[in-house]
Amino acid sequence: MKIAKKSNSNDTFRLWGTIDVLFAKDPEKIEVYRKEINEKRFRVADTPLSYRQINYLDNADILKDSRKSEKEWRKFSLKEIVFFVLGQKLRKYGLSDDYLKKIGDGFFKKENSQQSDFVVIMTLSGLHIIITQEENGEVYFNDAIADDFYNGKQSVLIKINLNEVVNDVLEKIRGKREEYKTYDDMVKGLTTDDLSGKETEILEIIRNKDYKTITIRKKDNEEFVIKGEKAKTADEKELMKILREKDFIDINITKRNGVIANVKVKDNFKL
């Protein structure tokens, strides 16, 4: 079993654990949900925007007009309306059209559409999604696990709760909001009193934020082999210290021009 502490091929969406929860709930209905949130059945009146604002998004190349003729009524999908409301909130924080276009590409470009569909479906399924803009200007969609992992590691300028954005849309469309669980809600009540000794040790390893990737393998005799990988900067002195302190460890060293450029340390645990 692999704990998905890794980013997806599209780094805009950092969905490490919630995506597995989503598929575990009802995998057969995922495609049905995707069709529903992408069906264009809402009018401009169902959105928080005016016709003038819609035209502005078109002219700024943030939103594509899919009508075959200008005589047709303009209709939008639920996912598009979520993007409109999100865009309004982001503009209040001073994000430029270039950033909104980038987020729009993350939502609607063909290569990103599956991930963005999952993000919207997660919020509709009561799972927590957080949007952050970091100091380097990059915008990310994090599930609760990824957000907790990155908390404190990057300077975050903006943080938006996507569930509340979606709820603003749902309240306007159907007069009903969707309850969701935050990270704290999910871990609340999870105490080591209910776990075995091995389970407690595994949980402590998973909660270690130093590890970028954690792999857990269970053998037939109920033994667990766990590998936790982290990248770090180390000179020869530091490497020798690591070797002396660790009983079970794998080290991968990358050198550039005779100088150590990167060190990957993989701790091995047998429980």
158/136 Cα distance (integer angstroms): 12
| β pairing state of 213-218 and 249-256 | unpaired
What pLDDT score does 221 carry? Answer: 65
Distance CA(142)–CA(106), nearest Å, equals 13
Residue 2 clears pLDDT 70, i.e. is over it = no
For residue 232, give Cα distances in angstroms to 152, 164, 210, 265: 17, 37, 10, 8
Return the pLDDT at 37: 92
Q: What is the mean pLDDT of residues 216-231?
A: 73
SS3 string, the chain, reads: CEECCCCCCCCCEECCCHHHHHHHHCHHHHHHHHHHHHCCCECHHHCCCCHHHHHHHHHCCCCCCCCCCCCCCCCECHHHHHHHHHHHHHHHCCCCHHHHHHHHHHHHCCCCHHHHHHHHHHHHCCECEEEEEECCCCEEEEEHHHHHHHCCCCCEEEEEEHHHHHHHHHHHHHCCCCCCECHHHHHCCCCHHHCCHHHHHHHHHHCCCCCCEEEEEECCCCCEEEEEEEEECCCHHHHHHHHHHCCCEEEEEEEECCEEEEEEEEEEEEC
Q: Is the pLDDT of residue 261 over 80?
A: no
Q: Which of 83-92, 158-167, 178-187 has the lowest mean pLDDT?
A: 178-187
Please determine, for residue 14, whether its predicted confidence score (pLDDT) is greater than 80: yes
Q: Is pLDDT at 3 greater than 50 in this prediction? A: no
Q: What is the mean pLDDT of residues 149-156?
A: 71
Q: Which domains does the chain have, with CATH numbers?
A: 2-184 (1.10.1660.10), 190-270 (no CATH)
Pairwise CA distance, residues 122 & 152, whole Å: 24
User: CA–CA distance from 115 to each of 9, 118, 158, 175 (Å)?
Assistant: 10, 5, 21, 27
